[in-house]
Amino acid sequence: MFCPTSLNTLTEKGSTFEGRIRRGEVVSETSIGLDEAEALARVIGAVRRKQETSRPEVTRITGFSRTLVSKYIDTTIGLNLLQEGALGVSTGGRAPRLLKFNADAGAILVAELGVSGMSIALSDLRGKLSEIVELDNDIGLGPEKVLLKIESTFKKIITKTKKEIWGIGIGLPGPVEFAAGIPMSPPIMPGWDLYPVRERLSKIFNAPVWVDNDVNLMALGEVAKNHEKKYNELIYIKIGSGIGAGILTHGRLHRGAQGCAGDIGHIAVAGIADVICRCGNVSCLEAVAGGIAIARDALSAVENGKSAYLRDFLKVNKKIEASDVIQGAKSGDKWCVDAINAAGQQVGNILATLVNFHNPSLIVLGGGISNAGDSLLASIRETIFKRSLPLATRDLEIRISTESDTTGLTGAAEMVISELFSPPILKQWVVSGIPELPINYQDSDTNEE
């Protein structure tokens, strides 16, 4: 067990705090060592994951001595990260004073962008959302106009809170280089390629910013709301206009070397060679089974007289969307039913490969096309179980997400909180008591997971 060299200095600084140091105030030390930060992160995490806990329980979880745990706890109380509450239950002797994580020490601004809408909110340091705003959006307008709308809404939210903004989390509907906080060649986001989203927002709001693709955030949001062990090995599939996957291994998000792991929408589908994808390639999964593909094929079905439901629908509506095909399937239209089943089979074929490779315990389906419900689920499940190894599917659960539309926002908050309290980032700001720029994002230990 290590003995931290600068803990006493940090404890002395923390003990003089009255709440927290605000931005712009000067402290003589700017960071602590990684060993100290790892220890503090373990102590904070042991408390943060519970509503309340005791010092003996923190000692048990961390494996540190009681003396070290007391020093770390005293430090974090001084930094306003932990608080002492009511007395706990005595197991013989003096009852312990319970500890709780101070979720109100700071706040997180979060935004999730879609093709035609955006969601924006404020979060506390536990991921509890407030000030939720839903706005129309056109991602094709480019980053300047879209980010202006986000910034304006963020500023309105800030005027309603007395908390310091500790960080910002953004979800984008396309590939993101996580370490740099920039979108990379997003097929449905013209003008966004290499746009400095992190740099722009951090300058405006003077706070650290993390950016990721929307599916990863949905996966994080799903896990944040469900703490069962099976969520440690999870694949979250978003089937909307495009198709993507968020992959968790040992309970942690797998982003890959550059942050684009899980982009399954651009895996080629066998036996289909004449469908051009928005990315420029042919026979991509999302060009065959995504929402835009389903709407495209629905128009062809009307032109060829294959769907009475869609023909009648188009007589009174200007266009057909995938949601209309889903409604047609629920109404019993044969072409619509077959279209949803075919999409499910194509997605299932790709997922079967992922199941053999990754061996998840749980697959969760989300996105607009998942509203097709049991028919889509049955098609995907049947294909996966037919094409995957028996051992890989023996305990596999496949279901449609039951979470609310705020799952991505919750995931964005969880992303920022996890980064702030990861040892390489925590060591940069814990002495000052509040996350401040500049932040060395490259130090993050989640960049290559």
**Domain covering 7-101, topology:** Arc Repressor Mutant, subunit A (1.10.10)
- Where are the domains positioned within the chain? 7-101, 107-220+406-421, 228-400
* Cα(6)–Cα(187) distance, integer angstroms: 49
Say yes or no: do domains 107-220+406-421 and 228-400 share a fold: yes
| Interacting residues of 129 by C-beta distance below 8 A, sequence separation 6+ | 110, 121, 122, 123, 406, 409, 410, 413
Neighbours of 45 (CB within 10 A): 17
* Cα(239)–Cα(258) distance, integer angstroms: 23
Tokens coding 158? 């800030």
| Mean confidence (pLDDT) of the chain | 88
Tokens coding 201? 């927002």
pLDDT level of residue 96 (50, 70, 90 thresholds): low
Q: What is the pLDDT of residue 445?
A: 57
Is-contact 403 367, C-beta < 8 A? no
pLDDT level of residue 228 (50, 70, 90 thresholds): low
Radius of gyration of the chain (CA): 24
Residues 43-62 have a mean pLDDT of 87
Query: Which among 422, 411, 440, 95 has a CA at the least distance from the CA of 225?
Result: 411
Share of the chain above pLDDT 70, in %: 88
Query: Which among 206, 167, 226 has a CA at the least distance from the CA of 422?
Result: 167
Residue 6 has pLDDT above 50, yes or no: no
pLDDT level of residue 28 (50, 70, 90 thresholds): very low
Pick the CATH number of 107-220+406-421 from 3.40.50.300, 3.40.190.10, 3.30.1130.10, 3.30.420.40: 3.30.420.40
* Cα(194)–Cα(191) distance, integer angstroms: 9
Is-contact 53 434, C-beta < 8 A? no
Q: Is 443 exposed, middle or buried (0-12, 13-18, 19+ CB in 10 A)?
A: middle
Residue 39 has pLDDT above 80, yes or no: yes
Task: Indicate the range of 177-181, 243-247, 273-277, 356-360 predicted with least confidence.
Answer: 273-277
Most trustworthy range by pLDDT among 8-12, 60-64, 407-411: 407-411
Q: What is the pLDDT of residue 324?
A: 97
Residues 248-260 have a mean pLDDT of 88
Residues 96-101 have a mean pLDDT of 84
Residue 443 has pLDDT above 70, yes or no: no
0.85 surpassed by pTM: yes
Tokens coding 239? 């089937």
Q: What is the pLDDT of residue 95?
A: 60
Neighbours of 96 (CB within 10 A): 17
Query: Which among 301, 370, 289, 342 has a CA at the least distance from the CA of 309?
Result: 301
| Cis-peptide, bond into residue 438, ω within 30° of zero | yes
Query: If one looks up domain 228-400 in CATH, what number appears?
Result: 3.30.420.40
Residue 318 has pLDDT above 90, yes or no: no
Residue 11 has pLDDT above 60, yes or no: no
Q: What is the pLDDT of residue 226?
A: 76
**CA 432 from centroid of its chain's CA atoms:** 27
Task: Indicate the range of 79-88, 161-170, 414-423 predicted with least confidence.
Answer: 79-88
Residue 142 has pLDDT above 70, yes or no: yes
